[in-house]
Structure 1
């Protein structure tokens, strides 16, 4: 199943909806079909977007630092934006 390879801290690209083409980090895996995504700019951490996995392009890039900060609740929107900007160079 597709969602088995998705985990917190992974970079994904939206394939449908208003945010088509935008990059996000997965901030929570709800179940095999749904995840919460955030980019720290338009979709902030206090209101992440619930998205179906089938509407996302999953990149192999995974950010361990983002995962650790999300787990410890010490993450900010500014940090998320900065890491996403740095991550764009890895594709």
Structure 2
């Protein structure tokens, strides 16, 4: 994927590291070839994960409500990120019986 496709508010899946397989939302760009990602559960917005682009898989889903808030600099809550990702069917913990 080209770097231009990685935008704030896009859904990505981690391909490498201890968080491999989890889904996150891009929340910022600290420097070239890196992004900040958060999911509202494991990685909160106040401590986002800095991740290399090559370790991420870009998903076709975009979260327009979250994207608009992040780009406008408005307050976004961790619960909003978490519920937006879960609404798409990702990162849902299965209850054990």
Fold similarity call, TM over 0.5:
yes
Instruction: State the SS of the aligned residue for 2:79.
Output: helix
Instruction: Give ranges in structure 2 of 5+ residues lacking alignment.
Output: 91-97
Tell me which structure has the larger Cα radius of gyration: 2
C-alpha contact 1:2 1:53 (8 A) present in aligned 2: no
Runs of 4+ aligned structure 1 residues displaced above 6 Å come to: none
Task: Give CA deviations for 1:56-91 in whole Å, capped at 9, x if unaligned.
Answer: 0101211111111223332100011000111237xx
1:1-91 alignment, distance < 5 Å: 2-71=2-71, 72-88=73-89
Instruction: Give ranges in structure 1 of 5+ residues lacking alignment.
Output: none
Equivalent pairs, count: 89
Using structure 2 for the length normalisation, give the TM-score.
Answer: 0.84
Using structure 1 for the length normalisation, give the TM-score.
Answer: 0.89
Give the root-mean-square deviation of aligned CA atoms. Answer: 1.5
Higher helix share: 1
Instruction: State the SS of the aligned residue for 1:51.
Output: strand
